[in-house]
Structure 1
Amino acid sequence: MVAYLFLSIAIVTEVIGTIYLRDTDGFTRLTPSIITALSYAASFYFISLTLKQIPVAVSYAIWSGVGLILINIFASIKYDQTPNTITTVGMGFIILGVVLVNFNSGVD
């Protein structure tokens, strides 16, 4: 179960890094650049810990799928980038896919 905690931390830190990436302005602004770099480093560290217990295909599917959905949510809040209907339906399929992959993962 600790693997899912590590995976959750990896997802959250990746989302933070991605949201702040836009604010770096090409890595010309120091604070957002530091936040982005540290967030991505933490994300890769925690995904590497996750991979000790959860297969890479399952981990990556959950990491990228949930991350994509959270990034879309926060981008719509922070940058007023509202997804259209097709994008929203696609994210629904991603959620369904993550659930299905998780059911068959064989991980406790």
Structure 2
Amino acid sequence: MIYVLLMVAIVLASVGDAALKKSSGFQRWGPATVGVVIYLITFYLLSVVMLELPVGVTYATWSGIGVILTAFVGVLVFNEQLNKKVVISMGVIIAGVVLLNV
């Protein structure tokens, strides 16, 4: 169950990142507000996860998977490009997260 909460926090963080990007540097208050509220929920969930998992494992997993998910959101929503170096780096991040959690 704790890993489900962690995954929800990761997905919410990526949605929050997309909302913040859509805010155009807080020039558009609707998306900015959505992004900030989502991040407040995300941090609450992370604090709950850290009751059971070590802070290092929690943060490394959240940030590592979050980077990858956010990159894919960038590709799908904002038409950003991934190059070979980025894809290889994501593979290394995935390997690190897996090793950290076994």
Give the drift of 1:26: 1.9
Residue aligned with 1:74, SS: helix
Residue aligned with 1:58, SS: helix
Gaps of 5+ in 1: 104-108
Which runs of structure 2 are paired with 1:19-38 in the superposition (5 Å)?
19-38=18-37
Single out whichever of 40-49 and 18-27 deviates more from structure 2. 18-27
CA distance in 2, matches of 1:52, 1:5: 14
How many residue pairs were aligned? 102
Structure 2 length normalisation: TM-score? 0.95
Structure 1 length normalisation: TM-score? 0.90
Which residue number in structure 2 is paired with residue 67 of structure 1? 66
Give the drift of 1:28: 2.1
Which residue number in structure 1 is paired with residue 84 of structure 2? 85
Displaced runs of 4+ in structure 1, greater than 2 A?
none
Give the drift of 1:30: 2.3
CA distance in 1, matches of 2:38, 2:62: 14
Give the drift of 1:72: 0.4
Letter in 2 for 1:26: G
* CA shift digits 1:26-76 (9 cap, x unpaired): 212122012101110011000000000000110111100000000000101
Residue aligned with 1:81, SS: coil
Percent of pairs identical after alignment? 35
Letter in 2 for 1:35: V
Which runs of structure 2 are paired with 1:1-108 in the superposition (5 Å)?
2-103=1-102
Letter in 2 for 1:8: M
Gaps of 5+ in 2: none
CA distance in 2, matches of 1:41, 1:96: 29
